[in-house]
Amino acid sequence: MSRVKLLPEILASQVAAGEVVERPASVVKELIENSIDAGAKQIEVRLQRGGLSLIRVIDDGLGMERDDALLALERHATSKISRAEDLAAIRTFGFRGEALPSIASVSRFRLTTREHAAIAGTDIVVNGGRIDAVRDGGEAPGTQVEVRSLFFNVPARRKFLRAEATEARHVEQQFFLQALAHPETGFVLVRDDKVVRQLPPTASLRERIRDLFDASLLADLLEVPARESAIQVSGWIGRAGVSRSTRAQQFLFVNGRAIDNALVTAALREGYHTALMRGQYPVTFLFIALDPREVDVNVHPAKREVRFRDPQKVREAVVSAVERTLRGARDHWQEQFEPPALPQRSPALLSSLPELAPPFPAFPAPAMTPSAAIVPPPSDTDMPSPTRKNAPAFQIIGVLSKLYVLMENAEGLVLVDQHAAHERILFEELRRRMEEQGVPSQRLLLPQILSLPARDAEWVERNAATLRKMGIGIEGFGANTFRLESLPAFLRVPEASIFLRDVIDELRSTARSSSPLRLGEDMIAKTVCRHAVKANDPLRYPEIEKLIADLLACDLPYCCPHGRPTMIQISHLELEKKFGRKV
């Protein structure tokens, strides 16, 4: 007896809906994308009860004639592709021809549409996939799709819907993605008859970000500088040290399509590298544009995922765009240190100020032997008079809690975390040394023999050259056994073998051993932290001044190698508010 049969059309659509329509937010996504594909300049999204009872999307796009509108409700009916070759270079958001029939099969659905030149439009009512009425209608040119009682006829799916507020949040997130991807289109979001977002069409992404988020976010963002390349990376990203504890503000787009992509996410982190705190996520509004033939969007029914033909090139483009952007912000950042036009105190007075405590040893690494010193220690006397002529481009007021250097600029008060600043300086110095001739290392009095688990042993063998550049001298000494002969000179570790095991554990788990340089950077960042100036090591004035000058000369002075900021600014306005001078 034959048991294989073709699914009835409606059932087939409901099955397809299982992939495309997960929740109200996915309906909103498909409908907005259709509107954009239809050239809409203005899109309104209305929700009742988080979209559970009603979703309505209204656009002023092309509209459809009656036959097309009816056809659009059939499965695999699309105006966007017609040949297999088209699939290889998709330029529209839709192409599967499945959204409208899928949505219509699991809701009470109504499509009202009118072409601009037409006298009358068409109004089609569909219930659970069955067309119930087709008549004249459609007042304004464009298209309106109304979706009521989503999943009313698929109880199994309805059960998976969450509370109204949760669904509304997902819709809002989707709305944000679409609004960011299309600043030139006006958007309105109406929730339970209240206008919650009204976004006029704008000329730039910057204005769209301003309209969507708090305007103060812009101050935390840097524009990715444009560059001629087959893979264009543009948009706005958070300054070094700006981060969030979730990915909610990490927006990624490929050819205007919001995507999730592990490769790009990893590239972003790599670009930020030392400018991001552990466990934090960067803030990005990043747009990647490339030839549509270079990217396959037909991977995922909801098109959240894409596949790149040359992932390595995309990775490199993203990493270098982020690095360039962060480094490019330096000039502006340095300007923040400029003293106000009329200095309040003279440096001469200051030099007598912090007669604080025991003189700080060799600068900058406390435990360093003079021969290995990275920067010559400052003289114990007052600042040499040439220094005086080139007066520093900052004005130090004092030191708070033996930790924060206080400075004054035109904006108000500047605070520098001396520990974070020192870590950054040391990090960049050591990295430079590593790249050039290797970090000076010191022989252990007694070489240590270590036997390691197979996986660690393999890792050490693979990375021995980098470890040596980092000043860790290690040689094979039989199966899975090594002899540790030297350590970086600036380190002071009580137990060399324990230190090495820590290094292995930490570095292996970061999984960033992609390049020896990165591995070395990670290592410096991890070891430097513990050996830089301790929070309350008192520094004397010339040392502080040198610290600030060295910080300003760093590539990425904004944060320590772990992504914590080195400097914060408290403006006059903030102070005035605190003192009640201004409200």
- Give me the residues that bind ligand ADP (CB under 6 A), please: 30, 34-35, 38, 59, 61-64, 72, 77-80, 94-100, 143
Q: How far is the CB of 30 from ligand ADP (least distance, A)?
A: 6
Element (H, E) at 34: helix 24-37
Q: Which does 72 bind (CB under 5 to 8 A by kind): ligand ADP, Mg ion, none?
A: ligand ADP
Q: How many Å separate Cα 533 from the centre of its chain?
A: 30
Among the residue ranges 33-41, 161-169, 173-181, 262-270, the one whose residues contact Mg ion (CB under 5 A): 33-41
Comparison of 38 and 222: residue with beta carbon closer to Mg ion: 38
- Select from 29-37, 82-90, 296-304, 382-390 the region that touches Mg ion (CB under 5 A): 29-37
Strand pairing report for 142-148 and 54-59: antiparallel
C-beta closer to ligand ADP: residue 118 or 529 = 118
Alpha helices (H) along 116-190? 155-158, 164-181
Lay out the site mask for Mg ion across 77-96 (x = CB under 5 A, - = otherwise): -----------------x--
Q: By C-beta, is 77 or 217 nearer to ligand ADP?
A: 77
Looking at the Cβ atoms of 16 and 559, the one nearer to ligand ADP is 16
- Footprint of Mg ion on residues 482-521 (CB under 5 A)? none
> What minimum distance in Å lies between the beta carbon of 190 and ligand ADP?
18
Of 178 and 274, CB closest to ligand ADP = 178
| Edge-to-edge strands, sheet with 412-417 | 395-400, 404-409, 412-417, 567-571
DSSP track, 320-368: HHHHHHHHHTHHHHHHTTPPPSS-SS-HHHHHTS---SSPP-SSS-TT-
225-229-233 Cα angle (round to 5)? 45
**471 interface partner picked from ligand ADP, Mg ion, none, CB below 5 to 8 A per type:** none
- Smallest separation, CB 35 to Mg ion (Å): 9
Q: Considering beta carbons, is residue 78 or 249 the nearer one to Mg ion?
A: 78
97 binds, among ligand ADP, Mg ion, none (CB under 5 to 8 A by kind): ligand ADP
Each residue 222-241 as x (binds Mg ion by CB under 5 A) or -, in order, gives: --------------------
How many chain residues are in contact with Mg ion, going by CB under 5 A?
Answer: 3
221 contacts: CB under 8 Å, gap ≥ 6: 209, 236, 237, 238, 239, 242, 283, 285
Decide if residue 34 touches Mg ion (CB under 5 A).
Answer: yes
Residue closer to ligand ADP, measured from CB, 223 or 296: 296
If one asks whether residue 99 binds Mg ion (CB under 5 A), the answer comes out as: yes
Q: How far apart are CA 38 and CA 143, in angstroms?
A: 9
CB of 301 to ligand ADP, least distance (A): 11
Widest distance between CA atoms in the chain: 103
Q: Does residue number 354 form part of the binding site for Mg ion (CB under 5 A)?
A: no
- Indicate the residue among 95 and 541 with the shorter CB distance to ligand ADP: 95
CB of 126 to ligand ADP, least distance (A): 12
64/231 with CB nearer ligand ADP: 64
The nearest distance, CB 93 to Mg ion, in angstroms, is: 7
**What is the chain's alpha carbon radius of gyration, rounded to the nearest angstrom?**
31
Bridging pattern class, strands 567-571 and 281-282: unpaired
Question: 332: buried, middle or exposed (CB in 10 Å: 19+, 13-18, 0-12)?
Answer: exposed
Choose the one of Mg ion, ligand ADP, none that binds residue 78, judging by a C-beta under 5 to 8 angstroms depending on kind: ligand ADP
Q: Which of 161, 149, 182 is nearest to 23 (CA)?
A: 161
Tokens of 37: 């594909």
CB closer to ligand ADP, 42 vs 229: 42
Q: How far apart (Å, rounded) are the C-alpha atoms in residues 322 and 240? A: 10
- Residue 453: CB atoms within 10 A of its CB come to 10
Q: What's the min distance (Å) between Cβ of 86 and ligand ADP?
A: 11
User: CB of residue 58 vs ligand ADP: minimum separation in angstroms?
Assistant: 9
End-to-end CA distance of the chain: 83
Smallest gap from residue 69 Cβ to ligand ADP (A): 8
Q: Can you state the angle between helices 516-531 and 496-510, rounded to 10 degrees? A: 130
378: Cβ–Cβ under 8 A, 6 or more apart, which residues? 363, 542, 543, 546
Of 44 and 456, the one with the shorter C-beta distance to ligand ADP is 44
Instruction: Scan for tokens 């399509």, then name that residue.
Output: 257
Which one of 99-107, 348-356, 516-524, 558-566 is the stretch in contact with Mg ion (CB under 5 A)? 99-107
Contact 286, 233 (CB under 8 A): yes
User: Helix H segments across 390-471?
Assistant: 418-436, 454-469
What's the min distance (Å) between Cβ of 75 and ligand ADP? 8
Least distance between Mg ion and beta carbon 221 (Å): 32
Return the amino acid letter for 64.
M
User: What is the rounded distance in angstroms from the CA atom of residue 455 to the CA atom of residue 264?
Assistant: 28
Closest-by-Cβ residue to ligand ADP is 94
Applying CB under 5 A, the residues found at the interface with Mg ion are: 34, 94, 99
